[in-house]
Amino acid sequence: MKAMTHDTAIVGTTGEDAAARYLEEVGYRIIERNVRFGRYEIDIVAEDRLRGMIVFVEVKTRTTSNARYPLRTAVTMRKRRALRKAAARWVAANEYEGAGRTDVIGVAGTSVVEHVLNLGSDGLFL
């Protein structure tokens, strides 16, 4: 795993802040941020109150937007597996028995430019 530079960490935190604000503005309730289970991490755990489910959010931030490389494509199969494992650990730790999904929010600069609902499209987590 490569080490993050200070600038990379600032960009990531800025993106996560923008994503959390966006989610709250569209009616989600933020439950937790930067949840870690060993090497697995969930950027944001939120409740989609409209749909009555937990949402595990992966935030991808870049300094600028590029239509040729959508931010959602930065979520590799390896990252999807890690998100699935982190979500399973969160579900177990919180004894959660409801529905859930995994979303990706793309941030360019300080603006949300993309929100992919249910990345795995199988109805429950990735």
Confidence of residue 101 (pLDDT cuts 50, 70, 90): very high
Q: Within a domain: residue 71?
A: yes
The residue whose two tokens read 């699935």 is: 84
Distance, in Å, from the CA atom of 46 to the CA atom of 36, rounded to the nearest integer, reads 15
Q: Within a domain: residue 123?
A: no
pLDDT of residue 61: 86
Distance, in Å, from the CA atom of 63 to the CA atom of 110, rounded to the nearest integer, reads 8
pLDDT of residue 122: 45
User: What is the domain count for the chain?
Assistant: 1
Q: Which residue has the higher pLDDT, 119 or 79?
A: 79
Distance, in Å, from the CA atom of 57 to the CA atom of 59, rounded to the nearest integer, reads 6
Residue pLDDT, tens place only, 18-69: 999 999 999 999 999 999 999 999 999 999 999 999 999 999 988 766 666 6
Is the pLDDT at 4 greater than 90? The verdict is no
Distance, in Å, from the CA atom of 85 to the CA atom of 9, rounded to the nearest integer, reads 23
CATH number assigned to the domain comprising residue 33: 3.40.1350.10
Distance, in Å, from the CA atom of 104 to the CA atom of 74, rounded to the nearest integer, reads 10
Distance, in Å, from the CA atom of 120 to the CA atom of 53, rounded to the nearest integer, reads 15
Q: Within a domain: residue 21?
A: yes
Q: Within a domain: residue 124?
A: no
Q: Which of 102, 126, 111 lies closest to 44 in space, CA to CA? A: 102
pLDDT of residue 69: 63
Q: Within a domain: residue 122?
A: no
Query: How confident is the model over 84-91, as a mean pLDDT?
Result: 95
Residue pLDDT, tens place only, 104-120: 998 988 889 889 888 76
pLDDT of residue 72: 61
Q: Within a domain: residue 125?
A: no
Domain that holds residue 57: 6-116
Sign of CA dihedral 66, 70, 71, 75: negative
